[in-house]
Chains A and B, each alone.
Chain A
């Protein structure tokens, strides 16, 4: 019940298109779900998070949805820009943070 599955592992989109990354988990205790963006040579940076009592959260071009019954959550990036290119990690937290396997997003100008 510790793993987080993340798909796709790589994603290429044209600038201006939307990007969607999906994660699934199996335990019932996790109650906090952050998303991190990691650029080359840098540490992960939080871009958005959601807690288990909320189904959806939006911050400008970024949105996250959580279905706690189905145990999956998704990241949506609209109007993608080249600077969105990075590796994105979903994560779940209960006692400790467990990261998904990562998605390398490439936004093509």
Chain B
């Protein structure tokens, strides 16, 4: 099973709302990632968790707050977002976070900030 699941599939939120995106994998992977993808652009890395510890933060604004409750779950907490944060948010996982490993992507959450 090489599946990464993400919920919700779609999310509309106002700039004062607080919401969370969820990601889950059951492949026994120990590295998980959040990417942001704007329309007609490649995915851009936001955060990397390796063995449940945050290992990379690509200078993401603090209105995005990642959390890794256990090795199978990854959350992205959203607060006070801006309309320009509207995008497809992709979660991925890989075996251990090595640079030569395949990353498996979920279907994404399409976020619209009004």
Contacts and interface: CB of A to CB of B under 8 A. Distances in A.
Interface of A: 31-32, 34, 36, 41-46, 49, 51, 89, 93-97, 99-102
Given A44-B90, A102-B41, 6 more contacts: A34-B102, A42-B108, A43-B4, A43-B108, A45-B105, A97-B99
A87 to B, nearest CB: 8
9 closest A-B pairs by beta carbon, nearest first, are A99-B42, A43-B105, A32-B100, A93-B99, A43-B107, A44-B105, A43-B108, A94-B99, A43-B90
Given A44-B43, A102-B40, A95 B99 contact: yes
Contacts of A45: 105
| Contact-residue bracket for chain B | 20 to 34
B8 to A, nearest CB: 14
Give the interface SS of chain B, mostly helix, strand, loop or mixed. loop
A96 B42 contact: no
A99 B100 contact: no
A93 B92 CA distance: 15
Interface of B: 4, 40-43, 45, 48, 56, 90, 92, 99-108
